[in-house]
Amino acid sequence: MKMFITKIISMFFAFTFIMFLTVPLLRSVQAYPRYTEADKALDFVESLLWNYDGDKWLCKEYKNANRCWLYNDNYLAYQIFQTLGRNDLAEKIRATFMSYGIPIKGNGRIEVLFNRTIPSPPYTGAACILVDNSTDMQLGSILVNNSDVELGDEWPLYWYHAPEGAYWTSEESHSSTHSLKIVGNCSRWIDWRSETFPVTGSRSYMVRCYLKGVANTCEPFESRWVIMIRWYNETSWIGQDELPIVAGNYEEWTLLQGIFASPKDAVKADLIFGAFNATGIMYADDLEVRELIKEGSFMVMSEVRHMQIRDWEEYADLLLFDVINKYYQGDPEYAQLWEKAYRMFDGKGMVDKSFNDTFLKTGHRKYETYKLALFILASKIIDRPIPENCSHILWSMQNRSNGGITTHYLPDLTPDPNATQNIETTCLAIYSCFSEDEVPIPENISIFMASAIIAMAFLMIREKRIHVRLRIEKL
């Protein structure tokens, strides 16, 4: 009898322990009648996983793209696959990151969803940096005059410079004997600027140069090193694109490059190597701009932190990332920031500076879908009620054919017909389906343990597929 009682007690505690681990997961996949949308979204993410070169696997930006973004697209996909037990797919992405010598970790603001800490205020989005490209990419001739800065007497021909802090030097060079040098002093804008050169509107251009030295910033706001291309029409400046030079020590000559689309009215451009409120000594050489004639079969892009801007609270995504960040750090300011973010939601989507700027420039109002997904995520993480119909609006942007989530939508709550479905938006939508306990993985459960628990729940829910059927609020 005593042995029987002991066995009953042991079974009771074992059952209680198992239920303690699995009930939260079962609750997140319980009997909601509309459960297939998240499965379709997950299938979309998996369909974008592409063996683009040898044994390298990354998810494309969108279905017909030949570009893969390491950050934040593939970092999000990696976390999705790992969290949902698709370790075979997660490992392919991880191995590809490692092949480029890049650890599988977040980049700036997106990191808060997984490691629960980011700089505050969050950094803005970054310009594209090319990590790798196919050998069949075709580029036009170099458009920058004296791009290797070898021609000249006291100063290089076809280049202009700031009165102080900018030097033409033979101390360092990537090719031949000379390079451009900037000594930052934390007080003003210092730059080298090329003569203008002809471009054609609505074309893609490769911007690249080699860098060496030490780049540091002086203030938390708007302090940066940068390579910049500025666009002009016949009479005036009409826009610019930037390649941020991330603060750090560049002991060897390092290639920095990116691809940008010229404005439709552009007829000329110039190239700038500059420092704003920054310190350090940096050298630049072989500064090129070439038209991208053919992209080639694949391109792998990376993002880097750009800068922190004074009006960051006017952008819904940066605001929401910092809400989550401050909540995890125990900073009570998160509540005040949340109220500001909540006021941006107009019942349909997030109305922020980006939304208003687009309307002023184009006359069209377009909501960004990923910001709505972030709004839902933040609501769950900080335990605030999610406004009615948020999930319905989000999942109304799903393409019924491929399962991906459309990047933009209109005030009548229909997908923007000119938008596409991409991986970042779709991954964030999937994350918004997770229960409060799963977003992100709780700190007191290791990733290994969490994966094991989720895998066990999968076996209980499905026998033939390993995809989890995620909870979606009733549509």
Instruction: Write out the DSSP string of 371-401.
Output: HHHHHHHHHHHTT-PPPTTHHHHHHTTB-TT
Phi, psi angle pair for 464, to nearest 5°: -100, -25
- The pLDDT value recorded for residue 5 is 58
pLDDT at residue 220 greater than cutoff 70: no
**Long-range contacts of range 171-176, CB-CB < 8 Å, 24 or more positions apart?**
171/283, 172/212, 172/213, 172/283, 172/285, 173/283, 173/285, 174/210, 174/212, 174/253, 174/285, 174/286, 175/148, 175/285, 175/286, 176/148, 176/150
Answer whether 393's CB lies under 8 Å from 475's CB: no
Report CA dihedral (469, 51, 132, 406) to the nearest 10 degrees.
Answer: -40
Helix H segments across 29-108? 36-47, 75-83, 87-99
Q: Which residues contact 276 (CB under 8 A, 6 or more apart)?
A: 188, 189, 190, 222, 223, 224, 225, 226
Lowest mean pLDDT among 223-227, 303-307, 377-381: 303-307
Answer whether 219's CB lies under 8 Å from 278's CB: no
What residues does 180 pair with on adjacent strands?
A: 168, 284
Q: What distance in Å separates the CA atoms of residue 30 and residue 283, rounded to the nearest whole number?
A: 59
Name the token pair of 5: 């009682």
pLDDT at residue 252 greater than cutoff 50: yes
Most confident of 235-249, 299-313, 363-377: 363-377
- Verify cis geometry, omega within 30 degrees of 0, for the bond prior to 440: yes
Q: Amino acid identity, residue 254?
A: T
| Nearest of 399, 353, 402, 348 to residue 375 by alpha carbon | 348
Answer whether 425's CB lies under 8 Å from 407's CB: yes
Q: Where are the domains of the chain?
A: 32-64+84-124+310-461, 138-294
Q: Which residues contact 110 (CB under 8 A, 6 or more apart)?
A: 71, 72, 75, 76, 321
| Nearest of 241, 28, 220, 227 to residue 125 by alpha carbon | 241
Eight-class DSSP state of 350: B
Q: Amino acid identity, residue 116?
A: R
Answer whether 122's CB lies under 8 Å from 104's CB: no
Lowest mean pLDDT among 128-142, 296-310, 344-358: 296-310
Percent of the chain with pLDDT over 70: 82
- Could you give the C-alpha distances from 132 to 99, 174, 230, 242, 412, in angstroms and in order? 11, 20, 25, 19, 41
pLDDT at residue 326 greater than cutoff 80: yes
Q: How does residue 34 score in pLDDT terms, banded at 50, 70 and 90?
A: very low
pLDDT in tens, 67-115: 999 988 999 999 999 988 899 999 999 999 999 988 887 667 888 888 7
| Nearest of 310, 308, 325, 319 to residue 342 by alpha carbon | 319
Instruction: For the domain made up of 138-294, give the CATH fold.
Output: Jelly Rolls (2.60.120)
More confident residue, 11 or 346: 346
Answer whether 404's CB lies under 8 Å from 63's CB: yes
Look at the chain and count its residues: 475
| Nearest of 312, 367, 368, 320 to residue 342 by alpha carbon | 320
Answer whether 169's CB lies under 8 Å from 181's CB: yes
